[in-house]
Amino acid sequence: MPIFDKFSDIRDALGALAQTGQNPLSVRFDEILSPAEGVVENRRVLLFGTSNYLGLTFDPDCVEAGVQMLRKSGTGTTGSRIANGTYAGHAALEKQLAQFYGKRSAMVFSTGYQANLGLISALAGREDHLLIDADSHASIYDACRLSAAEIIRFRHNDAEDLAKRISRLKGRPGCRIIVTEGIYSMLGDAAPLREIAAVKRETGAYLIVDEAHSMGVLGNRGRGLCEAAGVEADVDFVAGTFSKSLGAVGGFAVSDLEGFDLLRVASRPYMFTASLPPSIIASVSAALHKISSDPALGRKVRDNGLRFYRGLARQGFELGPSPNPVVAIKMPDREMAVEFWKQLLKEGVYLNLALPPATPSSLALLRASVNAVHSDEHIDRAIAAITRVGQRLGMIAPQASAVNGAKIPLPAE
What mean pLDDT comes out for the span 105-129?
97
Q: How confident is the model at residue 10 (pLDDT cuts 50, 70, 90)?
A: confident
Q: How far apart are CA 338 and CA 365, in angstroms?
A: 9
Q: Is the separation of the CB atoms in 153 and 161 below 8 Å?
A: no
Between residues 410 and 235, the one the model is more confident about: 235
Side-chain-side CA neighbours of 313 within 13 Å: the count stands at 21
Q: In sequence order, which ranges of 124-192 are alpha helices (DSSP H)?
A: 138-146, 159-167
pLDDT, tens digit (0-9, with 9 covering 90-100), for 19-63: 777 677 778 999 999 999 999 999 999 999 999 999 999 999 999
Q: Is the separation of the CB atoms in 193 and 159 below 8 Å?
A: no
Q: How confident is the model at residue 132 (pLDDT cuts 50, 70, 90)?
A: very high
Q: How far is CA 258 from CA 9, 123, 191, 205, in A?
A: 47, 13, 27, 16
Q: How far apart are CA 324 and CA 92, in angstroms?
A: 32
Q: What is the mean pLDDT of the chain?
A: 94
What mean pLDDT comes out for the span 93-110?
98
What domains lie within the chain, and their CATH numbers? 3-57+296-405 (3.90.1150.10), 59-293 (3.40.640.10)
> Does 412 have pLDDT greater than 50?
no
Task: Provide, rounded to the nearest whole percent, the portion of the chain with pLDDT above 70.
Answer: 96
Predicted pLDDT at 403: 38
What mean pLDDT comes out for the span 134-140?
96
Residue 81, amino acid: R
pLDDT, tens digit (0-9, with 9 covering 90-100), for 312-329: 999 999 999 999 999 999
What residues form DSSP beta bridges with 133? 154
Predicted pLDDT at 19: 77
Q: Is the separation of the CB atoms in 239 and 119 below 8 Å?
A: yes
Predicted pLDDT at 399: 62
Question: How far does the chain reach from its first CA to its final CA, in angstroms?
Answer: 60
> Does 408 have pLDDT greater than 50?
no
Q: How far is CA 323 from CA 306, 308, 413, in A?
A: 5, 8, 12
